[in-house]
């Protein structure tokens, strides 16, 4: 008899855990509360248009340990087309000033030097920090399972960037920009407005550009849902069991050992191991009733900043609209959209680079803006209905402002709010990527185990400040590596 692993949640972390569990000979069952797998990594169809909710860039499209995971889990295969954008984002200030972020560092450096010749030296230093951070390679094995030789070789390969860790590991972007001391008002304005004033980790900012520069954070044609579907197909093909539309309410624990789960409709499912790849907060505080905890976990969920939830307004447009930039960010401070007064304006993502998103000759444009959870948490059903209508009205007005004359061509408008996200995925406070990577927590991942609880592992974005698809995929793999160690079997990836 194979040992059984039950996995709570069929997002990217849960699917990854399921695939590796099957590859290593365990009976694996994923329990997902939504009707489809993918979690935040999802999309939906409206009148022939495909509205994507997640994927802009996937770290690991070219090389490294994340690339191994994407290949092993069928996210990447010979048929998947990857594109690397030349421009990451075009940003506009309310007075019409424009700022471009290129993905190629040489090109961006040239652009910045022309924009701000007086900051030549600081620009050179920033871009060199970004280039150096390319030496940072994520570990392929989890803590506790790294061979000494692997740890030594990764320390040696990371030598060139140790200085970055020491200097900026505990700094935020505000502090980093102060050190760089940019004098050009345009450059300071744009960098500070995008990355400053919210304790966003300086190191996370620096590393992000290295990934783009290496063409190791591309976009997958088809986007999020086909990505999740490829993983699901692999899991099922390997003989995994998937239950959808079933919510886990409790993890069964006896003698401090996880023994299975209880579903909302009352069914008990027994297992030798439980992996929770569901929302971190509901796993620890609801499914396990807060019984397995330590100060670090408590502090993280009480004190660490979360990503501000977003509202996404998706437009299906009956004409073709081209754009040389996948994303435009309009830094219009205090713009009202529905009840939200935006802090950083809104972005417009034109999916013209992916012809699977709209019927031929048509276009999908997605507007996103941040909207604090406090505005949503106590909203009544009537207020919610009215708010969605107001958002649509305001968003249509902003589209008309950006593309004069477009209104008659807007065929479909779809409004997804933080409530939508919470209802479909259970994500805590609508924080779609978990904890924000800050100066205090970037190097402070949470453990896959909970104190005092045996035969239980956590996986998913809540273990790693910054969240995202790569840590989700990786933590699913790591959970199974730990289980293989407990079972004293060698870990296999195929
Ligand atoms: C708009 C947007 C853009 C993004 N862009 C990017 C990007 O470009 N690149 C990137 O790397 N990341 C991006 N992300 C983040 C990324 O989508 C997430 O970090 C990642 O998908 C999280 O995966 P997860 O498996 O850890 O969690 P989730 O996706 O939250 O999955 C958890 C799953 O558990 C299920 N579940 C929860 N509770 C229960 C329960 N009690 N019983 C049963 N099932 C349960 C949920 O339904 C869900 O399917 C973006 C996210 C959003 C919303």
Q: Is the confidence at residue 156, as pLDDT, over 90?
A: no
| pLDDT, tens digit, 9 for 90 and up, residues 269-284 | 999 999 999 999 999 9
Task: Tell the residue nearest (CA) to atom 3 of ligand 1.
Answer: 54
Closest CA to 222 of 50, 413, 89: 50
Residue 112 is encoded by which pair of tokens? 């910045």
| 3-class DSSP state of 87 | strand
Largest CA distance in the chain: 70
Q: 421 CA distance to ligand 1 centroid (A)?
A: 9
Angular region, 271: left φ>0, alpha ψ -120 to 50, beta rest: beta
- The alpha carbon of 12 and the centre of ligand 1 are apart by a number of angstroms equal to 7
Distance CA 429, CA 112 (A): 37
Give the model's pLDDT for residue 199: 85
For ligand 1, say whether the CB of 9 is within 6 Å of any of its atoms: yes
- Please work out, in degrees rounded to the nearest 5, the angle formed at the alpha carbon of residue 180 by the alpha carbons of 175 and 183: 110
**What ligand 1 atom has the least distance to the C-alpha of 368?**
1
Mean pLDDT of the 16-22 span:
98
Tens digits of residue pLDDT in 60-71 = 999 999 999 999
Query: What pLDDT, on the 0 to 100 scale, is given for residue 119?
Result: 97
pLDDT, residue 353, reads: 97
Q: How many of the other CB atoms lie within 10 Å of CB of 353?
A: 15
pLDDT value of residue 443: 79
- Look at residue 157 and tell me whether its pLDDT is greater than 80: no
Is the pLDDT confidence value at 10 over 80?
yes
Mean pLDDT for 17-22 is 98
pLDDT of residue 162: 80
Going from the C-alpha of 367 to that of each of 54, 314, 332, 402, 415, the distances in angstroms are 13, 6, 13, 12, 10
Taking CA atoms, 451 is separated from 138, 293, 428, 456, in Å, by 25, 6, 22, 10
The rounded Å distance from CA 262 to ligand 1 centre is 22
Alpha-carbon distance of 121 to 180, in angstroms, equals 9
Percent pLDDT > 70 in the chain is 100
Both tokens of 58, joined, read: 């996937």
The SS3 call for residue 190 is helix
CA distance between the termini of the chain: 21
Give SS3 for 136: coil
Residue with tokens 């040489």: 106
Tell me, using a 6 A CB cutoff, whether residue 476 lines ligand 1. no
Distance between CA 46 and CA 25 in Å, rounded?
Answer: 40
Does 394 contact ligand 1 (Cβ within 6 A)?
Answer: no
Alpha carbon nearest to ligand 1 atom 5, residue: 54
The single-letter DSSP state of residue 358 is S
Our answer on whether the CB atom of 49 is closer than 6 Å to any ligand 1 atom is no
CA of 361 to the centre of ligand 1 (A): 31
- pLDDT interval class at 287 (50, 70, 90): very high
CA gap 282, 386 in Å, rounded? 29
What is the model's pLDDT at position 263? 98
Q: What is the pLDDT of residue 139?
A: 86
pLDDT range class, residue 250, cuts 50, 70, 90: very high
Ligand 1: which residue has its CA nearest to atom 51?
54
Determine whether the shortest distance from the Cβ of 42 to ligand 1 is under 6 A: no
327 lines ligand 1 (CB under 6 A): no
Which residue minimizes the CA distance to atom 45 of ligand 1?
A: 9
Q: Is 180 in the pocket of ligand 1 (CB under 6 A)?
A: no
- Which residue's entry shows tokens 């009215």? 386
Percent of the chain with pLDDT over 90: 87
Would you place residue 360 in the very low, low, confident or very high pLDDT band (cuts 50, 70, 90)?
very high
How many angstroms separate the CA atoms of 11 and 21, rounded?
Answer: 15
Mean pLDDT for 49-61 is 97
- What is the Cα gyration radius of the chain? 23
Cα 130 to averaged position of ligand 1 atoms, centre (Å): 28
pTM of the model as a whole: 0.96
Q: Per-residue pLDDT tens for 408-424? A: 999 999 999 999 999 99
DSSP string, 238-273: TT-EEE-S--EEEEEEETTEEEEEEETTS-EEE-SE
Residue 166 has pLDDT above 90, yes or no: no
Binning pLDDT at 50, 70 and 90, where does residue 333 land?
confident
**Separation CA 85–CA 91 (nearest Å):** 15
Q: How many whole angstroms from 183 Cα to the centroid of ligand 1?
A: 40
Is there an atom of ligand 1 within 6 Å of 432 CB?
yes
Q: Is the CB of 279 under 6 A from ligand 1?
A: yes
Structure confidence at residue 351 (pLDDT): 98
Q: Supply the pLDDT for residue 238.
A: 98
Q: Is the pLDDT of residue 81 over 80?
A: yes
Kindly report the protein residue whose alpha carbon is nearest to atom 8 of ligand 1. 56
Ligand 1, pocket-test mutation among 9, 248, 446, most atoms within 8 A of CB: 9
Q: Answer yes or no: is pLDDT of 147 > 90.
A: no
- Report the alpha-carbon angle 12-203-163, nearest 5: 130
């Amino acid at each position: 008899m194979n040992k059984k692993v039950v996995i709570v949640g069929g997002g990217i972390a849960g699917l990854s855990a399921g695939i590796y569990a099957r590859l290593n000979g365990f009976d694996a069952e994923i329990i997902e509360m939504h009707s489809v797998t993918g979690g935040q990594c999802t999309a939906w169809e409206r009148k022939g248009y495909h509205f994507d909710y997640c994927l802009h860039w996937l770290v690991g499209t070219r090389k490294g340990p994340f690339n191994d995971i994407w290949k092993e889990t069928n996210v990447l295969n010979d048929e998947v087309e990857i594109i690397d954008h030349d421009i990451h984002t075009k940003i506009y200030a309310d007075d019409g000033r424009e700022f471009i972020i290129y993905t190629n560092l040489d090109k961006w450096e040239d652009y910045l030097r022309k924009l701000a010749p007086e900051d030549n030296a600081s620009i050179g230093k920033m871009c060199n920090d970004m280039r150096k951070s390319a030496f940072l390679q994520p570990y392929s094995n989890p803590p506790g399972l790294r061979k000494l030789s692997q740890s030594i070789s990764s320390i040696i390969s990371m030598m060139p960037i140790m200085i970055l860790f020491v200097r900026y590991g505990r700094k935020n972007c505000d502090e980093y920009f102060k050190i760089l001391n940019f004098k050009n008002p345009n450059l300071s304005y744009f960098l500070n407005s995008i990355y400053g004033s919210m304790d966003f980790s300086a190191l996370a900012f620096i590393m992000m550009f290295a990934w783009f520069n290496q063409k190791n954070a591309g976009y997958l044609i088809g986007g999020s849902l086909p990505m999740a579907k490829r993983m699901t197909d692999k899991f099922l093909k390997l003989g995994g069991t998937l239950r959808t539309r079933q919510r886990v309410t409790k993890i069964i624990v006896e003698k401090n050992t996880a023994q299975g789960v209880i579903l909302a409709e009352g069914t008990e499912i027994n297992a030798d191991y439980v992996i929770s790849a569901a929302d971190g907060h509901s796993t620890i505080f609801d499914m396990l009733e807060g019984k397995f905890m330590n100060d670090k976990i408590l502090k993280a969920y009480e004190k660490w900043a979360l990503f501000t939830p977003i509202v996404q307004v998706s437009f299906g447009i009956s004409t073709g609209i081209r754009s040389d930039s996948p994303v435009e960010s309009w830094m219009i401070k205090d713009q009202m959209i529905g009840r939200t007064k935006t802090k950083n304006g809104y972005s417009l993502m034109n999916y013209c680079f992916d012809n699977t998103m709209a019927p031929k000759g048509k276009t999908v444009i997605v507007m996103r803006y941040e909207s604090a959870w406090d505005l949503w948490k106590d909203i009544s059903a009537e207020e919610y209905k009215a708010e969605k209508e107001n958002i649509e009205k305001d968003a249509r007005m902003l589209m008309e402002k950006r593309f004069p004359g477009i209104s008659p061509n807007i065929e479909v408008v779809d409004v997804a709010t933080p409530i939508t996200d919470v209802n479909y995925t259970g994500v805590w406070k609508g924080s779609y990527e978990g904890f924000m990577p800050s100066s205090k927590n970037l190097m402070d991942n949470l453990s896959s185990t909970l104190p005092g609880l045996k035969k239980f592992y956590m996986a998913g974005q809540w273990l790693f400040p910054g969240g995202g698809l790569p840590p989700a995929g990786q933590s699913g793999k790591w959970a199974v590596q730990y289980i293989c160690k407990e079972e004293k079997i060698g870990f296999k990836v195929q």
